Amino acid sequence: MEPYASIAVVSVLVVLLLANMQCEAQLNPTFYDSTCPNALSTIRTSIRQAISRERRMAASLIRLHFHDCFVQGCDASILLEESSNIQSEQSALPNVGSARGYGVIEAAKREVEKICPGVVSCADILATAARDASVAVGGPTWQVKLGRRDSATANQAQANSDLPAFFEGLDILLRKFSNKGLNARDMVALSGSHTLGQARCFTFRQRIYSNGTDINGGFSSTRRRQCPRTDGDGNGNLAPLDLVTPNSFDNNYFKNLIQKKGLLQSDQVLFSREPTASIVNEYSNNPRTFASDFAYSMVKMGDIEPLTGQNGIIRRICSAVN
């Protein structure tokens, strides 16, 4: 290689490295310490109040952050409602009728706007709310890196293509997570959030009536009581993702998988083979390891393609562009 070409390549690499470092530097836990020092405590109070009214909301808020980050990065695009210019992600198949908690984030945003108007992004509120929701139901805490800005666009098509689906096999799930920079361990850890929350009948109907070898007979019989075989009947009936402790953050989800009691097919496939089966085993025996890995992977997920610096906007309300 010519010496000048080598210098050019090195220069490009340095520029890219500096750009990446600048992006990382802009996301940090102290981002609002001077501009809105009470932001995090205000968000925490609002989220705790919402979960005290409905404990299931903890699962919904964690899922909302996940569904935001997998589409255009963690930019609060999922919070944008339908408009003449916006085709909302809320109408995408993985979200419609199931993603919830929009009003909780909006309420937290209103409280923050009262003390620091135009400073704190909806994307950061969503990321912080997921952490606060975990803590509220006995889950781990972590330092939320802050400084994200909000998008002025949504991407319904990407929501339909990139979000993991309840019926997908292991290879597809691994690929979808890998496309976002998340490995098999991240995927199993993040799937562990299904220790909380509920799923609708139509998402697990095929599994409980399949008579497959990967489902416990007594478990499928129990689930059939509230989920009729006929499509349309009871489609929206809810069942807990974790039959044992559906409102507490623990590692029973992984114990369920080992006993072939995963509610969704996308859950049970984690124990079907490597590279995920051994991680399920590890988490079932080690709740502390699971909690620690979950916190680590939530931080990692929160780093997916953030808008920082002069990119994006700070929305005054989370459901619409200013």
- Beta bridge partners, 199, equal 239
96 DSSP β-pair partners: none
Q: Has 195 been labeled as part of a binding site?
A: yes
Is 242 annotated for ligand binding?
Answer: yes
- Orientation angle between helical segments 277-285 and 287-301, nearest 10 degrees: 120
Please choose, from the candidates 162, 145, 164, 142, the residue with its C-alpha nearest in 3D space to the C-alpha of residue 154. 162
Task: Tell me whether residue 67 is one of the annotated catalytic residues.
Answer: yes
Residue type at 27 in one-letter notation: L
Q: Give the whole-angstrom CA distance, residue 128 versus residue 117.
A: 18
Measured in whole angstroms, the distance separating CA 298 from the mean position of its chain's CA atoms is 8
Question: Is residue 73 part of an annotated ligand binding site?
Answer: yes
Q: What are phi and psi of 251, to 5 degrees?
A: -105, 15
Q: Which of 62, 63, 66, 67 is catalytic?
A: 67
Annotated binding residue 162: no
250 is in an annotated binding site: yes
For the chain, list the strands marked E by DSSP.
198-200, 238-240
Q: Is 75 annotated as a binding residue?
A: yes
Is 2 among the annotated ligand-binding positions? no
Cα–Cα dist 190/32, whole Å: 27
Does the annotation flag 164 for ligand binding? yes
User: Of 308, 321, 318, which Cα lies nearest the Cα of 149?
Assistant: 308
Q: Are 149 and 312 in contact (CB under 8 A)?
A: yes
Question: Which residues are annotated binding-site positions for Ca(2+)?
Answer: 68, 71, 73, 75, 77, 89, 195, 242, 245, 250
Question: Which residues are annotated binding-site positions for substrate?
Answer: 164
The residues assigned a catalytic role are 67
Question: Which residues are annotated binding-site positions for heme b?
Answer: 194
Question: Which residues are annotated binding-site positions?
Answer: 68, 71, 73, 75, 77, 89, 164, 194-195, 242, 245, 250
